[in-house]
Chains A and B, each alone.
Chain A
Amino acid sequence: MIALYDGLVEYHPKTMEPIPAIAERWQVSEDGTEYTFFLREGARFSNGRMITAKDFEYSIRRGFSPELASKNAKLAYYIKNSEAYNSGKVFAQRLDGSFILEPRTSEERSVERAKTSFSDNALLTERLAELRKPQRLTLPSNENKRAEFIEKNPELQPLLIGAKFIPVAAEDIGVEAVDDRILRFKLNQPAPFFLGLLAHQFFRVVDKETVEKFGKDWTRVENIVTSGAFLLKEHHPYDRIIVEKNPGYWDEEMVRLKRIEFYPLEEATTMMNLYKSGSVDAVYNHVPPAAWVANLRKFEDEYLDFPEVAIEYYTINVTKPPMDKLKVRQAFALAIDRETLSKFRQTTQPLIDFTPEGIFPEYEKARQRVYREKLAAAGSSLEEWKSRVFDPEKARRLLEESGFPVLRSGNGFSCPTFPVDQVDLTYNTSESNKATAEFIQAQWKQNLGITIPLKNMEFRTWLSERSKLNYNGFGRAGWVGDYMDPNTFLNLFYTSRNDSSTGWYDARFDQLIDASNRELNESKRFELMAEAELLMMQGQPVIPLQTQATNWVKKPYVKGLYPNPGTLHSWKFVYIETDPTKWDREVRNIMNSQDEWVYRNIDRLNATTKSTSD
């Protein structure tokens, strides 16, 4: 809950970029693996206790504890030893007390060997800089599993003779309070997006005493101790959450709302009724039902639909025929008229790549450059790539080339040889997913003459089946970015055990992502990521459909609440404007118009970082 807890940094209300919160300023080491945060004086928990770096150290280490079993821990695995601690691994220690390090991979070894022979080779120096710092070796704590692991990696055997195994402890995690005001993170790899991650709830600070005193009851209203701009007053699950301004908040002066009531309702229509009758001032998180969108667009002062850091796509199970053929996958991807789909869905935008459009402008520029160059080298062009938004001619040609000729029959097409019984389109049950699936089914029928059967499953059932690749053909999927960096999307395809639910994997993709994480120059980093994205999209394990949009309404007097890409709101910036001349008019311009009060506060908060950055 963003209103209740503060972190080191806070989301910028418009862009979601990190702005200072409890951390006043920070430094990043030259190799990008060490982050040092300087905490402000005067930040207190709601019980009056001073918030120190120790509290952050505790909160973050607690997040990784296997007993807490946090689902978000994975987000922060970039922190040194956090994954090993979270998954209960052991270090291997030699008799002399030193720890055994991870052996180099063969490629790394060859670079290292070369170092000794030609030490002044410029290229080599660059490659050397890329070398990972050797990390301590970690092994499973369970003896049977450890034996199994060593058996699979025989090169470890000689290293481990006589070694003692020591469990990875919370203290080994790379987050540490240097003193009361200084917190240091050590990462196991450079992660240029790390700062952007830190506003996530996983990194927000909780009070150790309260957590330890009340155990699992610590979040109850009578026990809870918070650190943010608001205090929890009432919590009725499924009904309402009421928060009130925290008078002891370190930035108390800027908080203008005295009280916020949240109603976590399920029925979209019920929510809209409450909004229309004036009982609530804003409803967010994709609220208006699709049938209302056209109607709501007329209310230019209230309705917001802006691109979101979220996409909808179909996964393809590339492990089963006929979808194991690249050309077949490409054909189905090309045979969807995405412009019309977006018009049909009303709020979304067509998508042909995997990262959402209109969210990462700098990345998109880099991607354009890379695509132009790479595609030209491959005898294609950026224009041809862009025509992938809809190209039924080419789709039919590709199908024919892969052995499924598309015949003209009457006004339409037919493809009698295509094994329709081996391919389905599965979606998780919902009105809008059904509408989209039916639209796409019709597109394929119209453009390829193939009728793919539709199937639907309850959400959690579907997720489980999809991740096990228990489906044929196509599966509906959506992805919401966890932080403001294209990496949060591309990471889905990283490593052979990736989360893409497609069965696709390419070692070159991993190398490009690794290289991009090591690159500190932003435009070069984006270029490497764009190369990875192109590589993945050329393999077509997914059919991108659309960039999602925010879809919510707010009254014009509610200010400081923006349709930011993740719909994550920093509530301390929200206020009610009583002067009608200052109300938000024409929300189309809301992201360009400058709210003087909001910007003054952002500048004030950012000022502390500037004073020391030079």
Chain B
Amino acid sequence: MIGFILRRLLIIIPMALLVVSVTWGLIRLAPGNFYSDERALPPAIEENIKRKYGLDKPIYQQYLIMMGNVVRGDFGDSLKYQGQSVNEIIFRHLPYSATIGVLAYLLALFIGLAAGIIAALRQNSAFDYGSMATAMLGLSVPNFVLGPILVIVFALWLYWLPPARWGGISHLILPVITLAAIYAAYIARLTRAGMLEVMRSDYIRTARAKGLDEKTVLLKHGLRGGIIPVVSFTGPALAHLLAGTVVVERVFAIPGLGNIFIQSVLNRDEPLTLGIVAFLSILIMIFNLAVDISYGFLDPRIRYE
């Protein structure tokens, strides 16, 4: 078990470096530069800029310098926001994304699990059909539609909630709901399907035959097996939620990581883009590992060598 975890952790490092290298290559392949705009620069000024940022060196040297910095965990300074280091920017903007991400995750888990379990236990009831229809709707309406609709209704018609930006708790409500909707719908459907299958299986019948009460059967035996598909879905989903979801952050003008990521790409802010890519890839790999580990606890049939 420990060996398995260590091996997986060690793989993360070369994988992250590979992702960074590919990203760097893609940025360099794209024509244009962080300093290009409508005003063409005289060659002398362009040379000054290149010298300042080390772009006058041969390309392999630039790559080695970049990789050297990345290995040391130092991505340098943002090109767009002078004097601000990439690490500083990432850790300044991560909390925004993480806050709405974690809240949306909890909300989605709560709604999804509750709706899924109840629907499974009362299969073919009005609640089952109603909640699954709602889930279908939740899956089909993309968040760039849901977000603006919520804004129009709750911010511009009813004036109950602010339409955008970061502020108090009231600012969190709309983005969290928008972000949670699709995940809640997914979780509800996965839970229902998983529970239906498990509750018909032999070991549940055995548990009932032993005379256990229905509550213990459901929570101790049923749920553990029933939510395995949910776990494998929500593990990476949490990584995505933490790392920021571009659309929701843009619609609600939240200065989270997703927003910064898009901006950095459009601005050709290479160090910042690389930093965020490295950070996200490591985050996603760690969550995937966590998911794999949790299988072992949830399902006694899964063992690690």
Contact = CB atoms under 8 A, between A and B. Distances in A.
Contacts of B77: 216
B162 A219 contact: no
B31 A465 contact: yes
Interface in B262-280: 263, 266, 268
B33 A464 contact: yes
Contacts of A74: 39, 41-42, 45
Interface size class of A (residues with CB under 8 A): 35 or more
Nearest to A275: B163
Contacts of B164: 265, 270, 273-274, 279
A217 B148 CA distance: 39
Given A69-B48, A266-B263, A273-B164, A238 B30 contact: no
Interface in A226-243: 236-239
Interface stretch (A83-91, A94-102, A375-383): A83-91
B165 A279 contact: yes
A484 to B, nearest CB: 17
B35 A71 contact: yes
B45 A274 contact: no
B224 interface: no
A71 B41 contact: yes
Contacts of A117: none
B255 A478 contact: no
A30 interface: no
Nearest to B265: A458
A267 B250 contact: yes
A218 interface: yes
Contacts, number: 133
B163 A273 contact: yes
B156 A464 contact: no
A287 B260 CA distance: 20
Nearest to B152: A273
Contacts of B260: 238
Contacts of A237: 81, 84, 89, 255
A273 B151 CA distance: 8
A300 B32 CA distance: 42
A152 interface: no
B252 A277 contact: no
B93 A270 contact: no
B83 A219 contact: yes
A458 B30 contact: yes
Contacts of B253: 239, 263, 265-267, 270-271, 274
Most buried by B among A270, A274, A459: A270
Interface in A482-518: 499, 501
A267 B44 contact: no
B62 interface: no
B250 A499 contact: no
A429 to B, nearest CB: 11
B304 interface: no
A294 B66 CA distance: 50
Contacts of B127: none
Given A263-B165, A279-B163, A480-B38, A66 B83 contact: no
Given A71-B39, A216-B82, A239 B30 contact: no
A105 B196 CA distance: 92
Nearest to B84: A237
A345 B38 CA distance: 22
B51 interface: yes
B259 interface: yes
A270 B32 contact: no
Interface string B139-159: 000000000100100011001
Contacts of A270: 163-164, 250-253
B166 interface: yes
A87 B47 contact: yes
A592 interface: no
A235 to B, nearest CB: 9
Interface string A400-418: 0000000000000000000
Nearest to A482: B39
Contacts of B38: 463, 477-480
A458 B34 CA distance: 13
28 contacts: A66-B51, A69-B52, A86-B44, A87-B47, A216-B77, A219-B82, A219-B83, A237-B81, A238-B93, A238-B255, A266-B263, A267-B251, A267-B253, A269-B148, A270-B164, A270-B251, A270-B252, A277-B155, A277-B162, A458-B30, A459-B266, A460-B266, A461-B31, A461-B32, A463-B32, A464-B31, A480-B38, A499-B40
Closest 9 pairs between A and B when the two form their complex, measured CB to CB: A87-B44, A460-B32, A239-B255, A273-B163, A69-B48, A499-B40, A464-B32, A464-B31, A69-B49
Interface of A: 66-71, 73-74, 83, 86-88, 216-220, 236-239, 263, 265-267, 269-271, 273-274, 276-277, 279, 458-465, 467, 477-480, 499, 501
Given A74-B39, A266-B259, A459-B32, 11 more contacts: A69-B49, A87-B48, A88-B44, A220-B83, A239-B253, A239-B255, A267-B250, A270-B163, A458-B266, A460-B268, A463-B38
Interface of B: 30-45, 47-49, 51-52, 77, 81-84, 89, 92-93, 148, 151, 155-156, 159, 162-166, 250-253, 255, 259-260, 263, 266, 268
